Amino acid sequence: MSKESDLPVITPKSTGSSIRFVTFNINGFRTLFQYHPWTTHRNLAAMFRYLQADIITLQELKLQKSDINDKVARVDGYQAFITAPGLKCKRKGYAGVSVHVRVPQDHESDAVKRSLKVVKAEEGITGVLKSPDTGFAYRDSPSESVIGGYVTFNDLEGEEFTDAVLQDIDSEGRVVLIELANNTVVISTYCPANSMDTDEGELFRVRFISILFQRIRNLHQMGKQVVLMGDINISRDLIDSAAYISELLKAKVISSTNSEESNFETVNQQICEDFQSSTIPRKLLNSLLTDSITPALALNGIMYDTTRRHQGRKHKLYTVWNTMTNARPSNFGSRIDLILATKGCNSQASNIWPQIMGSDHCPVYTDFEEFFVGNGDRGSVSSEKTKLGFEAVKFYKLGRQGGLDMLFQSMRKRKLDEEVDREVIEDTQQVNQKASASGSSSVVSLSSKRSVKTKTRPTQATLAHFFKKPTPAAAAADQTSQFIDLSSEDQQSQSLSLSHLTSPSISLKLTNGKFSIPSDPKPPLCKHNIESILKTSRSENNKGRKFWSCGKPMRNGGDGLVLKTSNNDNKLGHELDEFSCGFFKWK
């Protein structure tokens, strides 16, 4: 039996003129070809042909800018656009997104050529990075030379982004935009997940997603069609997460419908709708989509989920699994890899390919029929490539194969490998030191060059706890119900316990179709009219939850005592100034 016959079967294109979009988080370019079926298709050109991909995005390249070489940038028959973490990025050898667009043949129709001809390309989502074509920031360049739709202060009320914040957002190599000759903008992204559950990480995540989604709205208002594809790192529906469903079923918070999947969201309607608004990123995503099951969220939607359009409300359409628990064989995962499109893009087929290995994610594809033609020039189109400064071969200054150029590339690669190895060893030592000090368990794999921390599961505060009707006493302490977010960049948050909650400190409101997001939160003022301090609860029911309290000492010097006054005690005087005023507020 030939090796070809052992390969997983790929769904044929819907028609000969279909344009196939594919997204695939490969979890590291260096290791991809060590796994079946890529041991047979040992280069990107063979891989793309096997998948019948016309436009394909790869995430988590785990390459720095200095490590981009011909293997990823010079792919036979494809035009490549690649972003990687910059020098200012705190995490080296991390993230990275590529987009490869098939170069059409002369004999193909003008509609196909228009759908594959890249006329503009950009790195980053904010517009602050420098355009290699103009020498200025994209947002400051002539409108005819850039894609446009950049987010302004007026778009996002309540947030004044400094250039430093915007540079930080685009420093990690997470977004590539291309504009096609058919008036369509394709955005390929690897969204952050805040897997370490920090306030700083959550604020970065909300800012990133808010700018990304608002840019899509701006482009759509300009009359362009938009396709968003990649690892969005958000499970948009309850049926998109096995862990959520499992925990809620165990706690008898939701009802199982057994084999009748179509009834699940009807029987558990309120829980399923609450889930869509349970975190800020999830609410933002569902507010972008016209097919959200919550009518109030779908009201301002402009995109649809292509896979859901063709697969309906089918369960277990998971695209990522936890490799540490070997969850893939039992299909216990999450659906976070998506291809979304504005209503003018007519999709013909879409599905997941869980049979394709090589990563903890699987590919997702969508076929568009002749794609979107638009209102522009419908005349003949040349198949010749447009010369663009962001095309990878030019942007990364890659010479022809062989000679000194390949020698220097090899030297850069060895240097990067040494840096990554050193960082992994240092990170591993820090993880083990922290684990020893705290008593938590750690799982560290040097062979895979990644360190993953797991937290010991608390005995209290499971996910189901936040759905149960609270007692009057508990209601005063736990005022909001929160879901957890298991979506993770490096599987870290997939390994965390179900008490690992998203930060409730970041608020969000929708006004006239626009979301307001906060600046860095400031401590509230206590009754002394001074900034309160942040503490962490050690009580059994709220262990680990943060709260604001008066920074002055308790009257008796105790840890849990609050200054109380009688009804006629209105003359606190110096005592109120000297001791805690009793101010308390959950964060």
Residue-by-residue pLDDT tens, the chain, 587 positions: 445 557 899 999 999 899 999 999 999 999 999 998 999 888 999 999 999 999 999 999 999 999 999 999 999 999 999 999 977 777 777 799 999 999 999 999 999 999 999 999 999 999 999 999 999 999 999 999 999 999 987 777 656 678 889 999 999 999 999 999 999 999 999 999 988 888 889 999 999 999 999 999 999 999 999 999 999 999 999 999 999 999 999 999 998 866 567 789 999 999 999 999 999 999 999 999 999 999 999 999 999 999 999 999 999 999 999 999 999 999 999 999 999 999 999 999 999 999 999 999 999 999 998 765 555 555 677 778 899 999 999 999 997 654 445 555 555 555 544 444 444 334 434 434 443 443 333 333 323 333 333 333 333 334 444 344 444 444 433 433 334 344 444 444 443 333 333 333 444 444 444 445 445 557 888 888 888 887 766 666 665 667 888 877 765 433 333 333 334 444 444 445 667 888 888 87
Tokens 């957890």, residue located: 484
| Dihedral of the alpha carbons of 386, 392, 397, 403, in degrees to the nearest 10 | -110
Q: Where are the extended beta strands (E) located within 446-565?
A: 450-453, 509-511, 514-516, 533-536, 546-549
Do 10 and 353 contact (CB within 8 A), yes or no? yes
Domain with 132 in it: what CATH number?
Answer: 3.60.10.10
Same structural domain, 89 and 225: yes
Tokens 């778009």, residue located: 155
**Residue 566 covered by a domain:** yes
Q: DSSP characters for 465-495?
A: GGTSPPPHHHHHH--S---B----SSSTTTS
The residue out of 389, 410, 431 marking a domain boundary is 410
**Residue 68 covered by a domain:** yes
**Residue 317 covered by a domain:** no
Do 287 and 509 contact (CB within 8 A), yes or no? no
Same structural domain, 140 and 15: yes
Residue type, 447: S
Is the link from the previous residue into 104 a cis peptide, with omega within 30 of 0?
no
158's tokens: 């309540």
Alpha-carbon distance 413 to 555, whole Å? 62
Alpha-carbon distance 294 to 274, whole Å? 9
Catalytic residues: 190, 231, 361
Same structural domain, 199 and 343: yes
Q: Where are the alpha helices (DSSP H) in 15-162?
A: 29-32, 44-51, 70-73, 110-116
The residue out of 393, 410, 427 marking a domain boundary is 410
The residue out of 410, 435, 467 marking a domain boundary is 410
Render pLDDT for 192-212 as a digit per residue (tens, 0 to 9): 998 888 888 999 999 999 999
Same structural domain, 192 and 70: yes
Total of domains in the chain:
2
Task: Write out the binding residues for Mg(2+).
Answer: 25, 60, 231, 233, 360-361
**pTM of the entire structure?**
0.73
**Residue 466 covered by a domain:** no
| Helix and strand totals (H; E) in the chain | 16, 21
Q: How many CB atoms lie within 10 A of CB 118?
A: 21
Render pLDDT for 159-175 as a digit per residue (tens, 0 to 9): 667 888 999 999 999 99
Same structural domain, 403 and 528: no
349's tokens: 């087929």
Alpha-carbon distance 60 to 482, whole Å? 29
**Residue 331 covered by a domain:** no
Do 93 and 173 contact (CB within 8 A), yes or no? no
Q: For residue 68, what are the domain limits? A: 4-234+336-410
**Residue 514 covered by a domain:** no
SS in 3 state form for 335-371?
Answer: CCEEEEEECCCCEEEEEECCCCCCCCECCEEEEEECC
Alpha-carbon distance 293 to 297, whole Å? 8
**Residue 174 covered by a domain:** yes
Render pLDDT for 418-434 as a digit per residue (tens, 0 to 9): 444 444 334 434 434 44
Same structural domain, 27 and 154: yes
Q: How many CB atoms lie within 10 A of CB 571?
A: 8
**Residue 567 covered by a domain:** yes
412's tokens: 């850069």
